[in-house]
Structure 1
């Protein structure tokens, strides 16, 4: 039995990497060994990159001079507002860095009940309106107040006993709503929302068509849904809009989220478990109602492809994270095929290869069978230059002429 499993893994490995047989960009690469490690997080301030190593040390390096510095150890998470770094250490203290020679503790007690809370464990710090918030096992901490997990939250990633699991992705949208996204592998996906203005939690909810059933794109379906859920469904320009947070276009674990200056969302999602599934989605919001567009023409699927949204059929592309490039007002995403730019023109959407790096892959996922995504985050520092975080090759700097990997 063990031999059969090993053979299957080898077949799965060959099958997956067989999809990657596309021509790499002929871009020179260079490796610079700084601390001989990979990284968990990074933030950009000018030409300086602040990053947390796999050993929980906070370091800084400059992408132009390659100069590097160790700052401090036992760091859990960092964030920035483009001018300075705010971080959280393992002693649950918040620090601020405006100069690497001056690390200031700005909060030594996250909230008064921390010592009495049996299940308290901090996960991540995020910047928000010149303030910061912390995602913890016990709930959201904002302005030194803990907003505890509500008893009605029934998500698989939340329980009354152990609290929150660590989110795989967190994102604050233009409506000041914090998305906490959980990847449960073969068991699906979870999202918990926290309204940073009203200080309340929300759950993703679903409403379904009642019998008799009609095709989802048909006028009969739209009329039936509007009649069945008059307070939760609107028809705008012949498209169904659902009251938030009903029927959001989430069908696989979320790998990336981005939002442009008009408020349009770009969501990437995927699952690798025996086969690949996933997709690229635009989500449009209108007065707290949302509709979505599946960009099915941008991802190759094995036939047949089902348009019912409820399951992406087997894909030929392992989709990763995404970002918004403010310098050219465009969305980008990463997959095993490379980095792609989304181009919208003449009511059509297409993609264009930005560049394809040659990166290492690592097998082994929690709750599913497959490879770990090898690019975790990327940000643009100009229209065509970017910084990207890999899981196995360090932090990359792409400047159109070459790629430098800092490790």
Structure 2
């Protein structure tokens, strides 16, 4: 059997980030090793999950691996301990997070100080009803060298009479948040670093939303709000508003929960589409039975068979084959299995087929032929004719040759040609 095809299937594999986004079974177990998390029977801080939530909000939480990857402050040992030794936890003890755990939108505005770092100068926290539950200006201990007014909205005049310091904010947040609170924000790692606080349960809108298709390219909150909420934020020259930003993050998280895990995420949506395409080409149990029976029929009398093709082709055929019957190799060396899958370059499939044509009772040779719209079909078919002639010449007499053309994708149907190679008739004298 000699088979030509024009179809290619490409599968994209995704990294651990997507796995982490969708598999949270061990989240609490790992968090207990990092944060002081205790099992909770208390429901005083829990409210019923909104009916608009289509799935558990715990599925949007950053995993410990993601927290590290996104540069969140964590109470780990080694370099992390030295880096965050002045940081405080948002609670002394945390309860296990559940689908009923309350969400709080958090956003900070920062100014640059003589320390060289950005220090917090305004903090806003909203609840799920978009009510402001905490709002304050903060005066840094270090002198401000750049108010960054066009971004922060902070001016010298605003902070002139402010007496609230960072430790006051930390104490207020520790008192405000319940032990199973979920913090929601855009690139919230920067806010927590500015607050010098650590928290285990985080939903980061810059992670759960992605319109670039690239995990390393984050989309600004203003663009996310415009695209998904239909709202214009961070407009004008007076700077950002932390209440507006925290509210937008909360609405984005709620919108995501009202849809599905892939909503607004080009990476996960692309993965879902890829899996769907792959499932379309996965063989059914009936197809597997027919394909296996074909080879089993040939090999039941201790005869042998072979499949010759490129790695992509052989991998595709292996989906239809019984793994106990087949063996894959990169040469035509002798093997114990009755059916041999020979992996070779697409350009050398015909040569390999000719080399082993008489060694097996059944040989399936698969050549991939790319037919672009601008290709000269005449020259291509001339080459195919040469290949067929070569295989025909190397076949044994009384052998069955099947030439199968699958057809151009989206074009005409395929065609099949079958011929038995008869021995030459004796000459009559």
Q: Indicate the TM-score class for this superposition, using the shorter chain for normalisation.
A: under 0.3
Q: What TM-score do you get using the length of structure 2 for normalisation?
A: 0.23
Indicate the structure whose relative CO is greater, using CA pairs within 8 Å and at least 6 residues apart: 2
Is the strand fraction higher in 1 or 2?
Answer: 1
Q: Which has the larger radius of gyration?
A: 2
